[in-house]
């Protein structure tokens, strides 16, 4: 199937409204999630926002540039990263989370720990972005107890080792099967709503990432909103030779266009101004400006 010919049985994008704990986010257009890494070691911007003041100023500038949601991550999941304790993660996260919730922002928390998710949800977070795809029953319980939405991300292996030798017979087919199994587990536990993210760079070779983007539209068959996180990732450097993550903006834009053509509802990006403009132009081409 070509990216330009959406499957007749499925609309280009999952439309509707996300209910985010008393707030709503309409998916009538592509939404932008801004990455806020409150970490010393994230792959593209580690150390930039470790102090709450700097994190808040970056968050405000992403909101001003058009971010619909901010994704707060206090533990890096870059390939080879070791974990940190829940206490450490919370001490980085909570001051920034509380301030931004107080300012009315929609907040996603990027965490693998059920205890961290619970604390964040108790303080007003709207969405849990779990790179382990709700594997832990305690995580599913936490999301369900708070009536929150969760992002189920596909990862082969663990961040510590995931890039060693990722292997698939059919990368898209296997990810779809994974989503089906995790959606079933999540729904059994009472999780109301999930967003699916195939996890670019999470246990995938360059070729796997390219194939996921080429075949992104196939995930539409699952009938859930889709998220794409290609921003600044290393496969773009492998293709273009851009060693520095900051030098991968064009690759990010092209990937996001492919994601939009394939039906992505949410793009997770570091560069908001460019991300918003990419989405608006792609939508205008697809649907005309009037709509
Ligand atoms: N990518 C990263 C982290 N979390 N979550 C979703 N849903 N999708 C992604 O593609 C994704 C993610 C890695 O990027 P970043 O947060 O910039 O780096 P790090 O994990 O090193 O903090």
Inter-residue contact 103 to 183 (CB < 8 Å): no
- Catalytic site residue 268? yes
Q: 198 CB under 6 A from ligand 1?
A: no
Q: 68 CB under 6 A from ligand 1?
A: no
pLDDT of residue 59: 98
* Nearest CA residue ID for atom 1, ligand 1: 229
- Catalytic site residue 233? yes
What confidence tens digit (pLDDT) does each residue in 162-190 have?
888 899 999 999 999 999 999 999 999 99
Question: Quick one: which atom of ligand 1 is closest to the CA of 233?
Answer: 14
Inter-residue contact 279 to 256 (CB < 8 Å): yes
pLDDT of residue 4: 52
What confidence tens digit (pLDDT) does each residue in 115-166 have?
999 999 999 999 999 999 999 999 999 999 999 999 999 999 888 788 888 9
pLDDT of residue 161: 80
Helix (H, G, I), strand (E, B) or coil at 267: strand
Q: 62 CB under 6 A from ligand 1?
A: no
Cβ neighbours for 25, distance < 8 A, ≥ 6 positions apart: 17, 18, 31, 68, 69, 106
Name residue 194's beta-bridge partners.
150
Pocket test residue of 44, 229, 272 for ligand 1, highest count of atoms within 8 A of CB: 229
Q: 42 CB under 6 A from ligand 1?
A: yes
Query: Residue range 200-222: average pLDDT?
Result: 97
């Amino acid at each position: 199937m070509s990216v330009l010919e959406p499957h007749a049985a499925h609309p280009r994008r999952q439309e509707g409204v996300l209910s985010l704990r008393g707030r709503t986010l309409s998916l009538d257009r592509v939404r932008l999630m801004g990455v806020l890494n409150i970490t010393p070691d994230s792959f593209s911007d580690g150390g930039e926002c470790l102090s709450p003041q700097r994190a808040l100023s970056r968050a405000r500038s992403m909101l001003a540039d058009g971010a619909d949601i901010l994704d707060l991550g206090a533990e890096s999941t870059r390939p080879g990263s070791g974990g940190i304790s829940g206490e450490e993660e919370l001490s980085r996260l909570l001051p920034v989370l509380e301030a931004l919730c107080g300012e009315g922002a929609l907040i996603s928390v990027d965490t693998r720990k059920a205890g961290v998710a619970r604390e964040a949800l108790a303080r007003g977070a709207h969405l849990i972005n779990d790179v382990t795809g709700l594997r832990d029953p305690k995580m599913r319980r936490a999301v369900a107890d708070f009536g929150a939405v969760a992002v189920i991300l596909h990862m082969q292996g663990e961040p510590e080792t995931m890039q060693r030798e990722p292997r698939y017979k059919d990368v898209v087919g296997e990810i779809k099967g994974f989503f089906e199994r995790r959606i079933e587990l999540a729904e059994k536990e009472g999780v109301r709503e999930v967003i699916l993210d195939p996890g670019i760079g999470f246990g995938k070779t360059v070729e796997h990432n390219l194939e996921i983007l080429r075949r992104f539209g196939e995930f539409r068959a699952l009938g859930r909103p889709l998220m794409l996180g290609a921003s600044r990732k290393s496969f773009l450097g492998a293709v273009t030779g851009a060693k520095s993550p900051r030098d991968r903006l064009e690759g990010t834009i092209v990937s996001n266009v492919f994601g939009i053509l394939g039906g992505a509802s949410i793009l997770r990006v570091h560069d908001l101004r460019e991300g918003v403009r990419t989405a608006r132009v792609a939508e205008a081409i697809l649907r005309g400006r009037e709509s």
